[in-house]
Structure 1
């Protein structure tokens, strides 16, 4: 992928665009801010854009935005534009709105789009032509010593959905001075700071199809095909009831689920936020494999629903996402297995994929030394599911797959962190899971193969032998990544095709220029024999030879990277069939 340096970027947004007078008057007409409050209003224009107005307390001209993430450069630099000349927005050193003299408020138009290609909160995405789902964290601001009032104005014939509650009238939420002070002191460093400003929630505003369901509403854009929409609806109802029975408790308050389809979503992505708001985003193409698409939809929705328990009722450690993401993936599989929608072979394959994806990213790095949060050299979904498998293997289970009595969440009142997982799995203060998760000297792969050999089988990789598709794809892509990074000063951009790498040449590239198609590495096709290609690369480097690349044009020679890269895995891991039978999850 391309790397873009934003360290010195400071952009001032001052471009005026045609206003939407009726919609903006609707926002302004919902009632003024109370004295001493910062008012943030949101509504949707007739053309489907999100309108945001800021009215600060008297005398306040600058509004630093709360969110300091790198995504703000894209949101406020590309998606947001002022509707008049009352505002400038500086993106560096932190995103800040400045009001012009004589302006009591400033208004912006946000062009909704699916921004992220991964499961992260969307700033504003369209739900059909006249509705938007947006994440408050991209628009939150706070003024020291002043309360904050959020206001969502749906407009005629439309709805605002806030914290799961649907309304045809304007919805206000007031954040007191003490909560504002807490958030400013925290500076977004913890979940508590975001929660204090209500900067951690999805909100829906506009007109879209609304279906009432027991306990909540399903909102959709009309673009999602009927089979997948039906799978969403039936899974929402069935899994919510099943988890309520399993855990003996139901999350408080109503819920709202918003489903939308877009060509910008590669497959499907979803997330949940405080207030029991859920976003489900699908690719808009009609599935060719309908049965497979419905199975994936049910797994997907089951995963997201489980978060209403593991991050809603129970307090999983948000700095260790493998706990709640792993639990959600594990429970989704159990729910599908119990309902007969996932047979034993597919269940085992799902676990095998997780095992190998996890060992690719973690290798033999100690779990105790991994950085916290997402995107830090870990796969919280795969590794979390593996760790749930390891933990459950030591716990007694009832006959049904969804056995809440065997869950670390059941009746838990304390925060669930890595130590709590280890204590639950080991049944006390010491054991194999304590070593795996908490010992800074213990490598992940080594502990896995030593302490869970009765659960996991390891098969050495050999050149010329077939590999599972999931492992082959990862090994092939991993081969080109260090070669391009070394040649292009860490700029990496290529596509892995069925029989070649399509290189997106970067300005820094010394050899990989002209967007070549690379078919062989060191004389071996990695697409036919990835293990053989890795071995040929290392043999060339060991002999002091350059790495020869066969392309559709002239051959190319690359210097060996330093250090010489190695295969990310040397063994394929598989769950032993008898282990699943012992867990009551086999055939």
Structure 2
């Protein structure tokens, strides 16, 4: 017989008596569930022209200001039509959270779709039978910044696949969601990658887009096994821009939905249009091998991201035959020329972040940096391996140095040539020299690139950039112009002091734009020490205006010729002495990649 210890017997007896007599303590109460701190954001497709937007706001969200406050985002939000009694948004704040005694914690709007240019990703872009959405313009800040996202449509493209009815996708690395909201009857494909191809695309272009995307993905998967491809849903459409010339153009972006838009696209594309399409598709697919969220905080983040995608696109395009060797060489020299001309005689480090990221600058300067740094320093790793290891390190949670990764590689001692390339690259991105001076010193040390006098096309391009600088000074920073053969049309803008009406410029100080003497004349004229030098812009109609001079640095600068075979050999070569070390490290690198893919 088992006897309990006396203390235990007493305790059990006391509990039993308490239960029988009803004197026991009350059962413990359940812990109250704290209120949900998240804002619930829902986007529902209504038709090609509109969405329904819903916010469900928690009690802690007392001041609902929008996170993106650029003019384009504010203007877009002012188009929202309230579907409740809580009033419109002013584009800056969501609106009053209380109105006439009613708590406005659930806001509803009808959102018109738009093809207008956005500051970043378009928030509600219409296609035929589909709508591309990105949540950046809907995001709130402060106590309202934590959001859950929900999308509703008959069919949805999200997270690399198609689903029916509704989805609550996890945000990408930037905290935002992109999705494609479709009608059930809209044509979609699952292979070779999930895609919606707008029925309005010209015949043959839909198949061409898929071929370009798949070829780029296959090539980069082989070349960059450590830079993991991030699956997407591809959405391709067409658009016409009001007020633009009929010349074809492209734009796109590569969030979790990869959006491709062919603007003013011809029914029978010519060679240049096809090259433009290949450039767009391959560039955007290249982004899916990068990790923008992991480089966004880097001061060179956009140069790394956009310049890197341009370099990857360039290598794939040349290998696939989408560009000729001559075109490939011209792309390198063109990027160099535009990068040097865009700095305005200042060091890269002196440019603000907004200036570094403006227009084509991160694309051109980044592409030139990748090509020159990777080719300047042969070492244990070729160009592909250095890029691959950079993204492998990022994906593993480390913070590799971008300049070192390109010039030296991350898995070997830097060679003397690599150390010299690293010194030039740091001088370019971090030093006190102007961009032009830093590039000039670096290019003088590279054997596959040689200076030559500017061609007529080079002079025209530089004069257009110079005229853009004149207009920017006159118009408070705004620029709108269209270059053409022997002329540049400056669009009159209301914020300008002088250029309030359109002006087609064909002469400057009486010299034709095509006159080879013009760059030297302007350089001498605008460097005059006395007074405030000015120039006269003339048109074929005899109308002229006088504007203050702008910096002429670069107008007479030499261009460069690239020896493409030598450049490509430099990108591929690995010195014989380093090949053994490279092969010994190959197994370790493969092991690291395997571990990363298992994470």
TM-score, with normalisation over the residues of structure 2?
0.74
| 1:138 CA drift (Å) | 0.9
Aligned with 2:546 (options 558, 561, 574): 558
Equivalent residue number for residue 82 of structure 1:
82
Q: Does structure 1 conserve the Cα–Cα contact (< 8 Å) formed by 2:156 and 2:166?
A: yes
| 1:534 CA drift (Å) | 3.5
Q: Distance in 1 between matches of 2:464 and 2:230?
A: 45
Q: Does structure 2 conserve the Cα–Cα contact (< 8 Å) formed by 1:258 and 1:278?
A: yes
Q: Does structure 1 conserve the Cα–Cα contact (< 8 Å) formed by 2:375 and 2:571?
A: no
List per-residue Cα deviations over 1:279-325 (Å, max 9, x = no partner).
11112522544444333323322221221222269857654211122
| 1:348 CA drift (Å) | 0.9
List per-residue Cα deviations over 1:16-49 (Å, max 9, x = no partner).
xxxxxxxxxxxxxxxxxx9664321111113541
Aligned with 1:533 (options 513, 518, 525): 518
Equivalent residue number for residue 283 of structure 1:
263
Over 3 Å counting, the alpha-carbon distance change for 1:559 and 1:233 in structure 2 is: closer
Q: Distance in 2 between matches of 1:487 and 1:494?
A: 13
Equivalent residue number for residue 165 of structure 1:
161
What is the SS of the residue equivalent to 1:353? helix
- Tell me which structure has the larger Cα radius of gyration: 2
| 1:386 CA drift (Å) | 0.9
Equivalent residue number for residue 302 of structure 1:
282
Q: Does structure 2 conserve the Cα–Cα contact (< 8 Å) formed by 1:87 and 1:99?
A: no
Equivalent residue number for residue 425 of structure 2:
436
Equivalences for residues 327-346 of structure 1 within 5 A: 327-346=308-327
Equivalences for residues 567-578 of structure 1 within 5 A: 567-568=554-555, 570-577=557-564
Q: Distance in 1 between matches of 2:572 and 2:58?
A: 60
Equivalent residue number for residue 350 of structure 1:
331
Over 3 Å counting, the alpha-carbon distance change for 1:568 and 1:225 in structure 2 is: same
Q: Distance in 2 between matches of 1:246 and 1:352?
A: 25
Q: Distance in 1 between matches of 2:165 and 2:72?
A: 31
What is the SS of the residue equivalent to 2:64? strand
Q: Distance in 1 between matches of 2:380 and 2:408?
A: 17
Q: Distance in 1 between matches of 2:57 and 2:107?
A: 9
List per-residue Cα deviations over 1:465-519 (Å, max 9, x = no partner).
x42x3x3343222333344455556554444343444344445656555544433
Equivalences for residues 31-46 of structure 1 within 5 A: 37-46=38-47
| 1:61 CA drift (Å) | 6.3
Equivalent residue number for residue 206 of structure 2:
229
Equivalent residue number for residue 51 of structure 1:
52
Equivalences for residues 177-196 of structure 1 within 5 A: 195=174
| 1:341 CA drift (Å) | 3.0
Equivalent residue number for residue 196 of structure 2:
219
Over 3 Å counting, the alpha-carbon distance change for 1:317 and 1:353 in structure 2 is: farther
What is the SS of the residue equivalent to 1:133? strand
Equivalent residue number for residue 393 of structure 1:
375
Equivalent residue number for residue 448 of structure 2:
455
1:205 to 2:181 alignment = yes
Q: Does structure 2 conserve the Cα–Cα contact (< 8 Å) formed by 1:487 and 1:558?
A: no
Over 3 Å counting, the alpha-carbon distance change for 1:441 and 1:377 in structure 2 is: farther
Q: Distance in 1 between matches of 2:127 and 2:336?
A: 36
Over 3 Å counting, the alpha-carbon distance change for 1:456 and 1:407 in structure 2 is: farther
Equivalent residue number for residue 238 of structure 1:
215
Can you give the 5+ residue segments of structure 2 that lack an aligned partner in the other structure?
1-34, 574-599
Q: Does structure 2 conserve the Cα–Cα contact (< 8 Å) formed by 1:534 and 1:567?
A: no
Q: Distance in 2 between matches of 1:235 and 1:435?
A: 35
Over 3 Å counting, the alpha-carbon distance change for 1:97 and 1:40 in structure 2 is: farther
Q: Does structure 1 conserve the Cα–Cα contact (< 8 Å) formed by 2:383 and 2:571?
A: no
Aligned with 2:467 (options 465, 471, 480): 480
**Which structure has the highest helix share of the two?**
2
Q: Distance in 1 between matches of 2:495 and 2:391?
A: 54
What is the SS of the residue equivalent to 1:90? coil
Q: Distance in 2 between matches of 1:253 and 1:515?
A: 46
Q: Which moved more, 1:238-247 or 1:441-450?
A: 441-450
Q: Which moved more, 1:136-145 or 1:333-342?
A: 136-145
Q: Does structure 1 conserve the Cα–Cα contact (< 8 Å) formed by 2:387 and 2:406?
A: no
Q: Distance in 1 between matches of 2:386 and 2:470?
A: 50
List per-residue Cα deviations over 1:444-464 (Å, max 9, x = no partner).
333333333323212244xxx
Over 3 Å counting, the alpha-carbon distance change for 1:221 and 1:369 in structure 2 is: same
Q: Distance in 1 between matches of 2:443 and 2:88?
A: 59
Over 3 Å counting, the alpha-carbon distance change for 1:500 and 1:236 in structure 2 is: closer
Over 3 Å counting, the alpha-carbon distance change for 1:238 and 1:356 in structure 2 is: same
Equivalent residue number for residue 151 of structure 1:
150
Q: Does structure 2 conserve the Cα–Cα contact (< 8 Å) formed by 1:165 and 1:256?
A: yes
| 1:86 CA drift (Å) | 2.4
What is the SS of the residue equivalent to 1:309? coil
Q: Does structure 2 conserve the Cα–Cα contact (< 8 Å) formed by 1:520 and 1:549?
A: yes
Equivalent residue number for residue 381 of structure 1:
363
TM-score, with normalisation over the residues of structure 1?
0.76
Q: Which moved more, 1:314-323 or 1:278-287?
A: 314-323
Q: Distance in 1 between matches of 2:494 and 2:322?
A: 50
Equivalent residue number for residue 12 of structure 2:
none
Over 3 Å counting, the alpha-carbon distance change for 1:57 and 1:489 in structure 2 is: closer
Q: Does structure 1 conserve the Cα–Cα contact (< 8 Å) formed by 2:335 and 2:368?
A: yes
Over 3 Å counting, the alpha-carbon distance change for 1:170 and 1:88 in structure 2 is: same
Over 3 Å counting, the alpha-carbon distance change for 1:283 and 1:206 in structure 2 is: same
Q: Does structure 1 conserve the Cα–Cα contact (< 8 Å) formed by 2:374 and 2:571?
A: no
What is the SS of the residue equivalent to 2:561? strand
What is the SS of the residue equivalent to 2:290? helix
Equivalent residue number for residue 91 of structure 1:
91
